[in-house]
Structure 1
Amino acid sequence: MTARDEARALVQRMQECFNTRQFDQAADLHTPGFVSHPLGATGFEAGRDAWREVVALFPGMRVVAQDILVDGDKVAVRSSVEGITTPDGGAQPTLIEIFRIEDGRLAEMWGITEGPDPREQTLINRS
């Protein structure tokens, strides 16, 4: 297996941990000093807590990689989001994430969500 194949498989394992709700197993895929730039946090714990929060709101939520591009120690992923309610039945959000890999583990992540943020709509509907 090439380094490119290993990087792709690492991201797919991380998404599978999310989709099967095996959050604790995902911790092994991240370095101890993992940095999530969107969360402004170091360590996987903040990411795990965010995962738990979002699936509490959307129990059927899944992420599915549409594109995985590898360049050196970076992996860019475009993923569709399935199983959530969107305003007026609109398009599902898309995740764009870039990971830096170090020693076969996820060390750093940058990301954005394109499209409606379902968490905001849920909070509006609860008001």
Structure 2
Amino acid sequence: MTTREEAGALVLRMQECFNTRQFDQAAELFTPDFLNHPLGATGFEAGKEAWVQIVARFPAMRVVADDILIDGDKVAIRSSVEGMAAPGSDLWPVLIEIFRLDNGRLAETWGVTEGPDPRH
């Protein structure tokens, strides 16, 4: 069983890998059959490819955890998304993700983004 402290540290480590662009180091944080509901994909590679594409478009993008809530094997995290404000706006998107953990690794995720869409 993953402790609350370990669960919180796991999602923060994932964000650190994203923010430092150490995508390959994040692979060990995910189960081999990681299920990414927003992408409709299984496995870490699909998520890694999405990360590569988004930072190619927004090189200054980073995520900052604002809230982490832990309940059993689930971790919910609300994060500010910096470096991708919509043109002419100082409002930043907010990312809300829920992860299910399995044996100390990220096994499944759901997520939504709120706020201004930087593509418009």
* TM-score class normalised by the smaller sequence: over 0.9
What is the DSSP-based 3-state SS (H/G/I as helix, E as strand, rest coil) of the residue aligned with 1:11? helix
Matched, 1:112 2:112: yes
What is the DSSP-based 3-state SS (H/G/I as helix, E as strand, rest coil) of the residue aligned with 2:14? helix
The answer to whether the Cα contact below 8 Å between 1:100 and 1:109 also exists between their aligned partners in 2 is yes
Deviation at 1:46, TM superposition (A): 0.6
Cα distance in 2, alignment partners of residues 24 and 68 from structure 1? 24
Cα distance in 2, alignment partners of residues 62 and 19 from structure 1? 5
Deviation at 1:49, TM superposition (A): 0.4
What's the counterpart of residue 22 of structure 1? 22
Matched, 1:102 2:102: yes
Tell me which protein shows more helix as a share of its residues: 1
Give the ranges of 4+ consecutive aligned residues of structure 1 lying more than 6 Å apart after TM superposition. Answer: none
Structure with bigger gyration radius:
1
The answer to whether the Cα contact below 8 Å between 1:87 and 1:116 also exists between their aligned partners in 2 is no
Deviation per CA, 1:84-124: give whole Å up to 9, x if none: 23132141000000000001000000000001222x32xxx
Cα distance in 1, alignment partners of residues 38 and 117 from structure 2? 14
The answer to whether the Cα contact below 8 Å between 1:92 and 1:115 also exists between their aligned partners in 2 is yes
What's the counterpart of residue 67 of structure 1? 67
- Could you list the runs of 5+ residues in structure 1 that have no partner in the other structure? 122-127
What's the counterpart of residue 35 of structure 2? 35
Q: Normalising by structure 1, report the TM-score.
A: 0.90
Q: How many residues were matched structurally? A: 119
What's the counterpart of residue 55 of structure 2? 55
